[in-house]
Amino acid sequence: MKYNRCGNSGLLLPAISLGLWHNFGGIDVYENGRNMVRRAFDLGITHFDLANNYGPPYGSAEETFGRILKSDLKSYRDEMIITSKAGYDMWPGPYGEWGSRKYLIASCDQSLKRMGLEYVDIFYSHRPDPNTPLEETMMALDQIVRSGKALYAGISSYNPEQSQQAINILKDLGTPCLVHQPSYSMFNRWVEDGLLDVLEKNGVGSV
């Protein structure tokens, strides 16, 4: 496996990561997911990407991954990059999505409990919240890192202007933005219209 440096940081990420968005939920066959995770790790894929609402149903991908960790990979925790996110719909009511400090910190705690972890390596704001000050969302990420619940902070689906603002706020708080996770494919090339330039200028990685 080839490992690439993530932005201007000490962290190396594998060229290929395994995302657990689908195929690992409560409706899926557990042994299939277990075999995929084990095979990926054997091939040098050390980065496993989740989010609070991955499944379906919501939360079940993290529960599945927690079971696999406990049964097969617990002794390799220090060789793994495990990431999670919060920002999309997770539970009913006023505190179950978007970017408030209340939601992000509660989501991180719930994700750790589902996976049986003391910390995740990267915790992301999954999307910008148009109704919450960006400072509040970034302060929540800063608090999550400072409390030891995550080693690094990241953002996902932020446009170039929002990304620059988030990077500036996190820098001022003393918790640098490590990485941005945008959607990207040969049919979906929006990151080439300014986002990659912002990330390169600021030494932020992209996955």
Model pLDDT for residues 7-45, shown as the tens digit of each residue: 999 999 999 999 999 999 999 999 999 999 999 999 999
pLDDT for position 66: 98
What average pLDDT does this structure show over 86-100?
Answer: 97
CATH topology for the 3-206 domain: TIM Barrel (3.20.20)
| Maximum C-alpha span of the chain | 45
Q: What is the pLDDT confidence band of residue 111, given thresholds at 50, 70 and 90?
A: very high
CA angle 21, 89, 170 (to 5 degrees): 85
What average pLDDT does this structure show over 125-145?
Answer: 98
pLDDT for position 87: 98
For 27-176, list the strands marked E by DSSP: 47-49, 81-86, 120-125, 150-156
pLDDT for position 51: 98
Catalytic residue among 3, 30, 54, 119: 54
Whether the Cβ atoms of residue 128 and residue 157 lie closer than 8 Å to each other: yes
What average pLDDT does this structure show over 117-138?
Answer: 98
pLDDT for position 84: 98
Kindly give, in sequence order, each residue whose CB lies less than 8 Å from that of residue 94, ignoring residues fewer than 6 positions away: none
Kindly give, in sequence order, each residue whose CB lies less than 8 Å from that of residue 175, ignoring residues fewer than 6 positions away: 141, 142, 145, 146, 153
pLDDT for position 83: 98
* 54 annotated active-site: yes
pLDDT for position 175: 98
Q: How far apart are CA 16 and CA 169, in angstroms?
A: 30
* Residue 179: strand, helix, or coil: strand
pLDDT for position 75: 98
Q: Report DSSP state, residue 75.
A: G
Whether the Cβ atoms of residue 65 and residue 56 lie closer than 8 Å to each other: no
What average pLDDT does this structure show over 160-189?
Answer: 98
Q: Where are the domains of the chain?
A: 3-206
Q: How far apart are CA 163 and CA 137, in angstroms?
A: 12
pLDDT for position 114: 98
pLDDT for position 77: 98
Whether the Cβ atoms of residue 104 and residue 140 lie closer than 8 Å to each other: yes
